[in-house]
Amino acid sequence: MNKLFSTINQNAQMYKEEREQKKLSRQATTFERFAGEFADTHVSYQNINGFILPMQVA
């Protein structure tokens, strides 16, 4: 029974890590699209914990 429980627990951890990686990937893709739309405005943006904020104005 302990072996079954540990296998289930390992699978749950693996799925949790996969979901986190997918979330980070979606955030990165969204940031790249956002930055591309404003590439000609001379404003740099950075992603801080999922929030896209201006870094500096040239």
pLDDT in tens, 1-58: 677 777 878 888 889 999 999 888 888 887 777 766 666 666 677 777 877 777 765 5
| Angle CA 13–17–19, to nearest 5 | 115
Paired tokens of 28: 């990165």
pLDDT in tens, 2-18: 777 778 788 888 899 99
Please tell me the distance from the alpha carbon of residue 53 to that of residue 16, in angstroms, as a whole number.
28
Contacts of 54 (CB under 8 A, 6+ apart): 43, 44, 45
Paired tokens of 50: 């999922």
Residue 52: the pLDDT is: 74
